[in-house]
Amino acid sequence: MKRLALLLVLPLFAACGPNDKNPPAGPGGGMGAAPPPEVEVIQVARGAATLTPELPGRVEAVRSAEVRARVEGIVEKRLFKEGSDVRAGQALFQLDNRTYRTAAKAAEADVFVKRLKLSRVESLLPIKAVTQQEVDIARAELKQAEALLARAELDLENTTVPAPISGRIGRAQVTEGALVGRGEATLLATIEQLDPVNVRFTQPNAEVLRMKSAMAAGKMQATDSRSVQLILESGQAYPHQGRLFFSDMSVDPSTGAITLKAEFPNPQRLLLPGTFVRVRQDQAVAPDVITVPQRAVLSGAQGQFVMLVGPENKAMPRPVKLGVMAGDQFVVEDGLAGGESLIVVGVQKARPGMVVKPVPLKQAG
């Protein structure tokens, strides 16, 4: 039996001997070196471009009105829903009006008495039972009483607080039972008109001067377009076009920037006052510039750069100096001459000196 077992084991040792020709595994457990990463590239070229600087801005209400108490009183009712749309003249708050109603009735009665007195003295004037001076005094007293009545009626009317403009009303600043209007016009709520809205944005004066100098030298041509586009905080383009209607005539000394305003329709109330946005406006046409896609530009410790495909298909970083936007592309002021192979898609996979596989950029859609 021992001899038989030894005969069965010997072939196994022979199979594991030094003559085994199986190749060793490659790096990472594979059978060979990994293929170079595929990147999508374009050829850098010079051409005409419409310059559309992207500028920071804030949304503002076209009209904003503070609803305030004009008379002193206790708030009895709030007559609106917070955050709702209201129309001009709509009643918003009701104050306790009993005191003012009584004062108006007393002033009305006083006017009635003064009219009777004037009528009596005027009837006595022809028979010289009274003097002209007494008649004049009676007329003045009637006018004074009528003025007091008008004031009392106005105070009574002001116990119902109306909306001064149409728009969307915010939260109520007071609740039922609050005493308002004592010594000051108490703020009750704020109404803002949200369709349309204004967008206030700024542009560095140095940038404006560079454009004007280039235009004077014939390197650019000004556009007469007043159309403006918005980019929302989410990065999406706002679906409605705006129109530029204001440009300040002075430079803010604290920022060195010029303030501009544009008006945008806001039917869906997507734009709320205070929202940060980015504004794009066609300002000039440059006939001979280099532009690169925004997504091809990277930032590092030494500044902004792009990745090129160099000799032997090796990725090569190239520092660039960027100018204004031209649509969704950057104008390159320095760093590229034209003819370079620029990595647009897959730039994150390309390390400096790494061999890559360049393919033409696939068009979206």
Q: pLDDT of 146-194, one tens digit each?
A: 999 999 999 999 999 999 999 999 999 999 999 998 888 899 999 999 9
* pLDDT tens string 186-233: 999 999 999 899 999 998 888 888 788 878 877 777 777 788 899 898
CA distance 331 to 294: 10
Q: Which two tokens stand for residue 43?
A: 């050829």
* pLDDT tens string 234-248: 888 899 999 988 888
Of 15-24, 112-121, 215-224, 248-257, the range with the lowest mean pLDDT is: 15-24
User: Which residue is listed with tokens 């009665």?
Assistant: 109
Best-predicted range by mean pLDDT among 45-49, 77-81, 344-348? Answer: 77-81
List the one residue out of 287, 290, 330 whose CA is nearest residue 48: 287
Domain with CATH 2.40.30.170 in the chain: 54-61+195-282
List the one residue out of 336, 344, 330, 334 whose CA is nearest residue 54: 330
Domain with CATH 2.40.420.20 in the chain: 38-51+287-359
Domain 54-61+195-282 has CATH 1.10.8.60: no
CATH code for 38-51+287-359? 2.40.420.20
Q: Which residue has the higher pLDDT, 143 or 363?
A: 143
Strands 54-61 and 197-204: antiparallel
List the one residue out of 332, 333, 224, 232 whose CA is nearest residue 282: 224
User: Which residue is listed with tokens 């500044």?
Assistant: 303
C-alpha separations of 297 from 128, 245, 252, 320 in Å: 102, 33, 31, 9
- CB-side neighbour CA atoms (13 Å) of 141: 17
Percent of the chain having pLDDT more than 90?
49
The answer to whether residues 192 and 208 touch, using CB atoms and an 8 Å cutoff, is: no
- Respond yes or no on whether the N-terminal peptide bond of residue 196 is cis (omega within 30° of 0): yes
The class of domain 70-192 in CATH terms is mainly beta
Of 2-11, 130-139, 325-334, the range with the lowest mean pLDDT is: 2-11
What residue type is 192 in one-letter code? E
Q: Which two tokens stand for residue 334?
A: 């320095």
Q: What is the pTM of this model?
A: 0.66
The answer to whether residues 305 and 342 touch, using CB atoms and an 8 Å cutoff, is: no
Domain with CATH 2.40.50.100 in the chain: 70-192
